[in-house]
Amino acid sequence: MERKAFLRSLGAGAAFALVFPCVHGCSSDSGNEGEQEVPTGVDFIVDLSGPDGAALENNGDFIIRNDVVVARNLQGQFVAASRICSHEQNAGVSFVETQGGIFECEVHGSRFDQSGTPLNTITSNPLKVFNTELQGDLLRIFE
């Protein structure tokens, strides 16, 4: 039986369930679809003399490398945290300028300060953060 005929035989509701298993994000009881590994052994360099430097030029800018959010905070300092959220391990964390500059996960709305401490009740698990060290144009992100 071809795919189209198979889906037709199931009916519209079942076909929708098969094709769109997680339309509005996955809740905690949905089997942790999208779960990913929090980065470990992190140690890499971002060259700020190239395109990454332009992407991090202004306070509040951020880039994502190796599942790490590298941001220039609102004071102009570089901070870094896991792109993989500590709530349900979805790759949804970014840097946002609210509350003086925080990390926020777009999946269920967890918020963390720049040291990884949770700021709301969605999770009590801290977000993994990384050290940053700037030498000239080279920004090192490491554990």
* Helices marked H in 1-143: 3-10, 12-19, 51-55
Exposed / middle / buried, residue 100 (Cβ in 10 Å: 0-12, 13-18, 19+): exposed
Rounded least distance, CB 125 to ligand FES, Å: 10
Contacting range for ligand FES; rule: CB under 6 A; set: 3-11, 57-65, 67-75, 105-113:
105-113
- Quote the CA–CA distance of 6 and 4 in Å, as a whole number: 5
Rounded least distance, CB 58 to ligand FES, Å: 26
Q: Does 107 bind ligand FES (CB under 6 A)?
A: yes
* Contacts to ligand FES by CB under 6 A: 85, 87-88, 90, 92, 105, 107-110, 122
